[in-house]
Amino acid sequence: MESYPKFQNEVGVPIVRIGCREFKCIGDKPPQDHPHVYLNMGDANEIVCPYCSTLFRFDQSLGAHEVECAPNGGQFQAAVLTGCWAWRSSYCAGLR
């Protein structure tokens, strides 16, 4: 079984740029997470999570385990996945 990157959106940014087209969205961290859903963009460049409404946008300039998020409509800031998580509250909290 292929291992997909997991993404969580603890701070609720509306748009997240990612470097992969297949991934797993879990929403917030447990226990506030939503059902873990596998998303596949296929040939499209973006997909919306049906549970948390986060818009994930593919960016080929990012590595498969990199993510950029833009809190409150601001500039996108880069983060690198640590293990299987896209970003951590300590990182995104500093972006608010």
Average pLDDT over residues 44-73: 85
Q: What radius of gyration do the chain's Cα atoms show?
A: 12
Q: How confident is the model at residue 56 (pLDDT cuts 50, 70, 90)?
A: very high
The dotted CATH code for 6-89 is 2.60.260.40
DSSP secondary structure string for all residues of 65-93:
TEEEE-GGG---EEEE-BTTBS--HHHHH
For the segment 15-50, what is each residue's pLDDT rounded down to a tens digit? 888 899 999 998 887 788 899 899 999 999 999 999
pLDDT at 14 over 90: no
Q: What mean pLDDT do residues 51-61 have?
A: 92
**pLDDT for residue 63 is more than 90:** no
The structural domains of the chain, with segments of one domain joined by +, span 6-89
